[in-house]
Chain A
Amino acid sequence: MKSFFLLLPFFFLSFLNSRSSINLSPPKTGSVKITCVNTVKGKPLELNSGKYINSFGEEYSISKFKYYISQVSLQRGKAVFWEPENFHLIDEGNADALHFSFALSAGNYDALNFMLGVDSIHNVSGAQSGALDPLNDMFWTWNNGYVMAKIEGYSPQANIVNNKFEFHIGGFMGENNVLKNIALNFPAGKTLNIQEGKTSEIIIEADIDAWWQQPNDIKIARHPVCSSPGPLAKKIADNYIKMFSIKDVVNNYN
């Protein structure tokens, strides 16, 4: 009995130690900034004005390009360091919505992981705020769920009103699930290095050209609109999963 009481203060100490707010030896932290550069065939995307051609010879321009990034983590060997739960709506039309930052313990990291989309729980949990606010025009009001990624634009091959094509890709349940885990290695010879009180940056490239092919041929003439979960959305998501790569890592720039 006595020995149990003797141990209690140690339980308490270990309890304190497990809480980050009252950590006995706070880890050194810096921060990582993740910047998304949206491109078409490697060239910076120019909303509305840029003219592009897909692999089927279809001409198009892009008026909207938005997607959700969540469950972000960095890897050091097999150890995984998560950003606290957060959702980032990357929006080519809003310069403030092309990057985000979070605190990270000091050290080296060799890979970046994230989810493209919004996990199923947040699709069914009622009114959300911040990046998930329905104000952001990424929530289906008639068939509830988030649009995980969307492009809209114009193409002479889009044989519908105003030649406007739109791909709103969503679906979080069962066979219609388009949630994608993305794992990206850093370019050869690059490592993310975080130092106390400093910021390092990872530059991600997202290339719209990936939406049109491999493994699935998506021709605008045949599919000018995708606006609900289902087989077409899944095919497009299977294409766009490959749009991401890490362009550069810039260590400790301030």
Chain B
Amino acid sequence: MKTRIIILLCLCSSLAVLLISAADNRSVHFADGKLPDYIEFKIPAGWPKPPTDIFAKNRLSEQGFQLGKKLFYDTRLSKDGSNISCANCHQQFAAFATYDHDFSHGLNDQHTTRNAPALFNLAWMTKYHWDGGINHIEVQPLSPITSPTEMAETLENILNKLKKDSAYPKMFKAAFGTAEINSQRMLKALAQFTGSIVSSNSKYDKVLRGEATFTYSEQNGYAVFKAKCAACHAEPLFTDNSLRNNGLPINEYLKDYGSMKITGKPEDSLKFKVPSLRNVSVSFPYMHDGRFYSLGAVIEHYRNGITVQPTLDPLLTKKIDITNTQKNELIYFLNTLTDTSMTKNPRFAK
């Protein structure tokens, strides 16, 4: 009898503990019980896990993604009359870079001072922008939105415009539980959209999965790539996401010293982020200032154009030895990194 009472007591206490923890975990934001449709962020087979989980405090959902997409394509994020959305400079068909522009156009046709980077596989990055100055995907949009030469708008004005819209309050409610529109939710939704853009289905990926085969030239080019380029443009992301000085002579007009502006350290002078080579054939021009318009010009830089500077990357102190034949084969290989299932995916389109 005594044992039974004890067991009963134990059961009751466990139940109470369970109830208390359940009450703690209930979502206060979704009081009416309408949870969004959560999505699992899928890591392509064989890829490393992202260094940090960008969705850990911003749970990915279909409604959050759709809200982020609407914001990405909405010109109300820029100063009235300028008609600039994120997509003006990040065009899907150019892997979300600006096609054929060294510098993008902002308010009143002002130019930016750096080439708009392509947007994909952002979930594997811990730093953003060419100089690594952005430390989290959610806060990146603040920079182009408020920059006087880009979208030139204030957060306050944007939020007021969104609040007046007929669709946004409903979309914020669907994604975040209430119709409240604030900067945190706007930025989290944008991160759900941009962070979901994954490029992992190029011909190269299909070859690795045994679904396609390289041509003779592509295969040779892959070997050249692995021997000469992969130390920085590491597979499968085709970047190690580090910041390096790749020996470009400084543009005397722009005087852009890259990462040094962020860290204030001379040893970071002229260091810029290593970009991914995925989709490289559609995201020209190349380099932080878009100075090269062809892959041939880029390879030529690494063959003959490297300027010796104190912070030059140690891997580049010797010119990269590539024959003319290898150069052509390398370009054939780089063209296999174009992923039309991403650049033409209606899910990411307006």
Look across to chain A and name the residue whose beta carbon is closest to the beta carbon of B158: A135
A126 partner, pick from B17, B57, B146, B159, beta carbons under 8 A: B57
Cβ proximity bits B1-37 to A, threshold 8 Å, 1 near / 0 not: 0010011011001001100100000000000000000
Contact in complex: B16, A134 (CB < 8 Å):
no
Interface size, A (range): 20 to 34
Binds B, one of A8-16, A87-95, A191-199, A235-243: A8-16
B138 partner, pick from A6, A12, A127, beta carbons under 8 A: A127
B83, CB-defined interface residue at 8 Å: no
A123, CB-defined interface residue at 8 Å: yes
Chain B contacts for A254, CB-based, 8 A: none
A125 partner, pick from B16, B57, B262, beta carbons under 8 A: B57
Look across to chain A and name the residue whose beta carbon is closest to the beta carbon of B261: A143
A20, CB-defined interface residue at 8 Å: no
B184, CB-defined interface residue at 8 Å: yes
B183, CB-defined interface residue at 8 Å: yes
Chain A contacts for B264, CB-based, 8 A: 176, 228-231
B333 → chain A closest CB, angstroms: 36
Chain A contacts for B138, CB-based, 8 A: 126-127
A49, CB-defined interface residue at 8 Å: no
A216, CB-defined interface residue at 8 Å: no
A237 → chain B closest CB, angstroms: 15
Total A-B Cβ pairs within 8 A: 84
B142 partner, pick from A141, A145, A176, A230, beta carbons under 8 A: A141
A124 partner, pick from B135, B147, B159, beta carbons under 8 A: B135
Contact in complex: B143, A129 (CB < 8 Å):
no
Secondary structure at the B interface, as helix, strand, loop or mixed, is helix
Chain B contacts for A125, CB-based, 8 A: 57, 136
Cβ proximity bits B51-74 to A, threshold 8 Å, 1 near / 0 not: 000000110000000000000000
CA distance A2 to B137 in the complex (A): 55
CA distance A133 to B9 in the complex (A): 48
Number of B interface residues at 8 Å Cβ cutoff, please give it.
Answer: 35
Contact in complex: B183, A123 (CB < 8 Å):
no
A137 → chain B closest CB, angstroms: 9
Known interface pairs A135-B156, A141-B146; A127-B9 also in contact (CB < 8 Å): no
B298, CB-defined interface residue at 8 Å: no
A128, CB-defined interface residue at 8 Å: yes
A139, CB-defined interface residue at 8 Å: yes
B223, CB-defined interface residue at 8 Å: no
CA distance A129 to B156 in the complex (A): 14
CA distance A127 to B188 in the complex (A): 7
A253, CB-defined interface residue at 8 Å: no
Chain B contacts for A231, CB-based, 8 A: 264
B133, CB-defined interface residue at 8 Å: yes
B229, CB-defined interface residue at 8 Å: no
Contact in complex: B10, A126 (CB < 8 Å):
no
Known interface pairs A125-B57, A127-B184, A141-B142; A6-B136 also in contact (CB < 8 Å): no
B308, CB-defined interface residue at 8 Å: no
Look across to chain A and name the residue whose beta carbon is closest to the beta carbon of B13: A12
Residues of chain B from 138 to 169 with CB closer than 8 A to chain A in the complex: 138-139, 142-143, 146-147, 155-156, 159
Chain B contacts for A129, CB-based, 8 A: 182-184
Known interface pairs A6-B6, A8-B13; A124-B136 also in contact (CB < 8 Å): yes
Look across to chain A and name the residue whose beta carbon is closest to the beta carbon of B188: A127
- B-side residues, CB < 8 A to A, are 3, 6-7, 9-10, 13, 16-17, 20, 57-58, 129, 133-139, 142-143, 146-147, 155-156, 159, 182-184, 187-188, 191, 261-262, 264
4 new A-B contacts, CB < 8 A, other than A11-B13, A127-B188, are A5-B6, A126-B58, A134-B155, A135-B183
Q: List 5 A-B contacts (CB under 8 A).
A: A19-B20, A126-B136, A126-B187, A129-B183, A142-B147
